[in-house]
Amino acid sequence: MNKKLALLTGASRGIGKETARKFAENHYDLVLTCRERKDLLEDLIYQLETEFGNKIFGFIGDLGEYSEVERLQQELKEITNRPFDVIVNNAGISHIGLLTDMKKEEWNQVISSNLTSVFHICRFFVPGMISVQAGRIINVSSVWGNVGASLEVAYSASKGGINAFTKALAKELAPSHICVNAIAFGAVDTEMNQFLSKQEKEALLEEIPACRMATVKEAAEMIYALATSPEYLTGQVITMDGGWT
């Protein structure tokens, strides 16, 4: 009997890495992607295959480029024609700075990596889910997509776009028994927040009622919970932020 199959983007580190482990330990075969950290992705694949015995395929490429996702689809056809049971759109980058100082290329890179990649992945792989009338799509968003953040206009816009994308696609796919949900995470203890100074981090934690950042393990557990949630839960942007916003 085939194991279930999940696609996780941005899997080389942080939330993506821990989510890959969570799915692997629950007997999923995996397709893991990242944009450039081939060394980290290969290490993760070796660890998971050794520990859990899953079939895991790694892909290096910029999912914001249509041709790269087309290449991913072609490579997967040579390995398996199985549709995905779960898609986790986690890949993303941040940009800190004033909008008035932002270059057009920087804006385009954030939107491409964070939002256009989600369109590409869904455009190529949702038809397989429709063919079997089943599936779960989980989009990783941010509280800044809900309320916006000063100095992170592009990032906030990309995550706000993911929230709207999630709600709209859920309506399209509900008749096909495919659930589409997003998680708007608050501060999660990942490399993305390592730019904060000690004083900045302390000030941030004072604003969060839970008095701490979320762990990547907690984030992964939330993603997995949505992957196994009832079918009637769809079109939701669930905020997980320790009571922050």
C-alpha distances in Å from residue 89, one per residue of 19, 94, 152: 11, 15, 20
Which residues are paired to 214 by β-bridges?
188
What's the token pair of residue 154?
A: 């592009």
Q: Which amino acid is at 28?
A: Y
Classified as helix, coil or strand, 88 is strand
Q: Please identify which of the residues 46, 155, 224, 232 carries the catalytic annotation.
A: 155
What's the token pair of residue 146?
A: 């809900």
Exposure letters 103-139 (e unless 16+ CB within 10 A, then b) = eeeebebbbbbbbbbbbbbbebbbebbbeeeebbbbb
66 belongs to the catalytic site: no
Residues annotated as part of the active site: 155
